[in-house]
Structure 1
């Protein structure tokens, strides 16, 4: 019976983690460039149970079967599928169609910059002419941080990422892809850093000026999953309540006999 309590608890803990991930997906359903997270579930390895110190068996130990200790969380992974493109008409809003990531320079508290990767193309231009994201992180081009003349009246970004100011080529947006996305670590909601062992490859994505890529979260599907998780959580709760009631009977009623 005590094992039943443990098994039900592992189920509740697993469903709680799944619910946390789905809640975060729903909270970022409108976040530009957000990629949906998911989690796999697996059972603990079966263990062999053995009867010991049983007088009816002449105190010989013998196997009596397999026992499973419940469920555990598997791998939390990110779904990198393409999100829909939404037209904004803003000059510095750019979206990627196909595989690839923008590079942005993010400064830490010490002022040192680190390169992160994102699909969030909501950029703007500062008073100095730098192209930055909503947090002020600079967009990286082949020549470094991309900067355009502040007095330019016509900014055009081609499908290959080339940036023109009044017909003059200023820079080309650096777009990067990776051989294996398992080497990307999520940073915040829609940024990623490459961990040791990752390999960069040329990107095949095309650039669309005046568009942004929306989140790839399917709200209806996530709501359905949330309902299923809630029911599974409640089922495990009832198991614990039932086992607790049985233990109460065993201690307070049977023990009196």
Structure 2
């Protein structure tokens, strides 16, 4: 009886964890760039009452007799499927169509530090013209060169003839090697307008009506994005199982293109979450019945002495 009670307790704990994950998913149904979690169970070690035996000349084989001792959490996965995109019309709202993460960090003595990764593309321009997220972390890219090209509506891509930096993909075994290529992107506060192309190139029209190149976004891709660790604020950090970041420009190396004026919504499906919540609730109730039934049987055993 005690064995069945402890099996029921393990089930209660696991379904409580599953409900915690579901609750977090539902709470973030409208969080930009959020990736839902999923709880996976596995059984605990089984107690072998009798071992298996092979068949012989007289008798056939006999299977082992085993009694399970409950369940435990096998994994809590982060599902990195893409969310739907929402049109905002804001130039600095960016969505990634494909794999890849935006990089945000801070600059110390010209070096990019404390890089974190995000799919939430709601960026802003601070008082100095730097592109930042809602927490003030700088959007990482490569600096633009000083290029002045008259704006010609007939040739909107004329800036591509300028000396635009290109980020070369690196060896993933040395993921920090390109960080010395990395910097921040700034737009003059006097700029009349700006645009971000699908390949991550940022341009703006200055106060004199001249088109200038400001820089290119540098994005990151991982061998195992499910291995990234959530650090809050819609951001992730590298873990031992995520693999090193491979850097590149949007549309290259399978990173995906950047859609300006859009935001990626959460990939949480409410219908799925409510269904899973019902299953978890019933599983929790069933395990409480195991405990109460075992308790009633133990009570009957105690009453035998009366």
Mapped to 2, the partners of 1:189 and 1:91 lie a distance apart of 22
Match of 2:287 among 236, 239, 252: 236
Match of 2:198 among 142, 154, 159: 159
Tell me what 1:176 maps to: 220
Tell me what 2:11 maps to: 11
1:66–1:106 CA distance, 2 compared to 1 (3 A): farther
Mapped to 1, the partners of 2:26 and 2:49 lie a distance apart of 43
SS at match of 2:298: helix
Match of 2:272 among 184, 207, 221: 221
* TM-score normalized with structure 2 length: 0.74
RMSD value over aligned CA atoms?
1.8
TM-fit CA distance, 1:192: 1.0
TM-fit CA distance, 1:183: 3.6
Pairs within 5 Å for 1:108-257: 113-143=113-143, 144-166=183-205, 167-188=211-232, 190-196=234-240, 198-201=243-246, 202-251=253-302, 253-256=303-306
SS at match of 1:242: helix
Give aligned pairs, total.
Answer: 239
Q: Any stretches of 5+ residues in structure 2 without a counterpart?
A: 51-63, 144-182, 206-210, 247-252
Mapped to 1, the partners of 2:288 and 2:256 lie a distance apart of 48
Q: Any stretches of 5+ residues in structure 1 without a counterpart?
A: 51-63
Mapped to 1, the partners of 2:202 and 2:141 lie a distance apart of 9
Mapped to 2, the partners of 1:208 and 1:158 lie a distance apart of 8
Alpha-carbon displacement from aligned partner over 1:45-79 (angstroms, at most 9, x marks no partner): 223237xxxxxxxxxxxxx8312101111111111
1:113–1:76 CA distance, 2 compared to 1 (3 A): same
The answer to whether the 8 Å contact 1:92/1:124 transfers is yes
1:13–1:34 CA distance, 2 compared to 1 (3 A): same
Alpha-carbon displacement from aligned partner over 1:204-235 (angstroms, at most 9, x marks no partner): 31011111000000011101110111011011
Alpha-carbon displacement from aligned partner over 1:17-67 (angstroms, at most 9, x marks no partner): 0000000000001000000111111101223237xxxxxxxxxxxxx8312
Pairs within 5 Å for 1:97-116: 97-105=97-105, 113-116=113-116
Mapped to 2, the partners of 1:255 and 1:137 lie a distance apart of 71
